[in-house]
Structure 1
Amino acid sequence: MPHRSATEPAAPEEPARRQADIRPFMAAFPTGVSVVTTLDADTVPHGLTCSSLASVALDPPTIVVCVRAASPTLAVVLAQGAFSLNLLHERARATSDLFASGAPDRFERVEWRLPLGAGGPHLTADAHAVADCTVVRTVGFGDHTAVFAEVGRVTVRDDPQPLLYGLRRYALWSGASSTAPPPAAPSAAAPSAPRTALSNAAPEGGTRVRR
Structure 2
Amino acid sequence: MPRAPKLHPSPSPPLADADLRPFMAGFPSGVAVVTALDKTRTPHGMTCSSLCSVALSPATLVVCIRSASPTLRALRSNGRFALNLLHEDARSVSDLFASGVPDRFARVPWRMPLGAAGPHLSDAAHAIADCVVDRTTEFGDHTAVFATVGRVTLTEDRQPLLYGRRRYARWTDAAAVPAPGEGDAGVRA
> Please, what TM-score do these two structures have when normalized by structure 2?
0.86
Q: CA RMSD in A?
A: 1.5
Which position in structure 2 is the counterpart of 1:96? 94
Number of residue pairs matched by the alignment: 170
Q: What does 1:32-181 align with in structure 2 at a 5 Å threshold?
A: 32-181=30-179
Q: Return 5+ residue gaps in structure 2 as ranges.
A: 1-12, 183-189
1:92 deviates by 0.2
CA distance in structure 2 between the partners assigned to 1:113 and 1:80 by the alignment: 17
Larger radius of gyration: 1
Amino acid in the other structure paired with 2:47: T
Of structures 1 and 2, the one scoring higher in RCO (CA 8 A, sep 6+) is 2
Conserved in 2, the CA contact under 8 Å of 1:87 and 1:162? yes
Aligned to 1:29: 27
AA aligned to 2:107 is: R
8 Å contact 1:27–1:168 — kept in the other structure?
yes
Taking only the aligned residue pairs, the percentage that are identical comes to 65
* Contact preservation (8 Å) 1:165, 1:171: yes
Q: Which runs of 4+ in 1 moved over 4 A?
A: none
